[in-house]
């Protein structure tokens, strides 16, 4: 797996190491570098506060990845948006073992669609809640509610891709996938 710095370079994106995060807009001193650091620390905090709530972890990973698509591979958007769709709109109780199944399905899917792209919302227009807001939660329940709102906001920001993602999600439900 490439580092986010390598992936940004591959995508031709110059990462800013000062001020707010250039992708989600969260106010930091060291830009995306601090955003990634704080997000990763926040995930650890979530795991300590609620180790059994895997859904919140998946939602937060997907929301963060979709707010920062420039530092991920292009097909990452398909994966994270499809998983959000499956969890939020198809009410799939996601488990770790389903992620490789979705990944395998998307690998087959993309082999016949090498030029397919999702419509990426502009930076700072991918939901207003950010990972930084999670640090303001006072209880695990408040943090989980915030993650759910964050994931929904980010999902809604990608609305131009919903029809395509919905079709991908239906394919994921085919008998040979699940």
pLDDT class of 127 with cuts at 50, 70, 90: very high
Average pLDDT over residues 9-29: 95
Calpha distance 4→36 (Å, rounded): 9
Q: State the pTM of this model.
A: 0.91
| pLDDT tens readout for residues 161-173 | 999 999 999 998 8
Average pLDDT, the chain: 90
Answer for the pair 158, 118: CB distance below 8 angstroms, yes or no: yes
Beta carbons of 133 and 146 less than 8 angstroms apart = yes
Interval 44-80: pLDDT, tens: 666 555 555 678 889 999 999 999 999 998 899 999 9
For the chain, the domains span 4-172
Rounded CA-CA distance 27/111 in Å is 39
């Amino acid at each position: 797996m490439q580092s986010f710095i390598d992936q940004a370079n591959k995508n031709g994106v110059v990462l800013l190491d000062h001020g707010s995060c250039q992708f989600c807009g969260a106010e930091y001193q060291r830009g995306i570098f601090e955003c990634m650091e704080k997000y990763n620390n926040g995930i650890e905090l979530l795991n300590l506060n609620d180790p059994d709530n895997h859904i919140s972890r998946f939602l937060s990973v997907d929301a963060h990845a979709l707010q920062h698509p420039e530092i991920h591979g292009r097909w990452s958007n398909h994966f994270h948006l499809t998983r959000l769709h499956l969890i939020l709109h198809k009410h799939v109780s996601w488990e770790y073992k389903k992620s490789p199944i979705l990944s395998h399905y998307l690998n087959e899917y993309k082999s016949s669609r090498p030029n397919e792209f999702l419509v990426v919302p502009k930076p700072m227009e991918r939901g207003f809640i950010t990972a930084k807001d999670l640090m303001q939660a006072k209880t695990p329940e408040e943090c989980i509610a915030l993650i759910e709102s964050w994931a929904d906001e980010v999902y809604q920001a990608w609305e131009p891709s919903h029809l395509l993602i919905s079709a991908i999600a239906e394919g994921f439900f085919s008998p040979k996938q699940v």
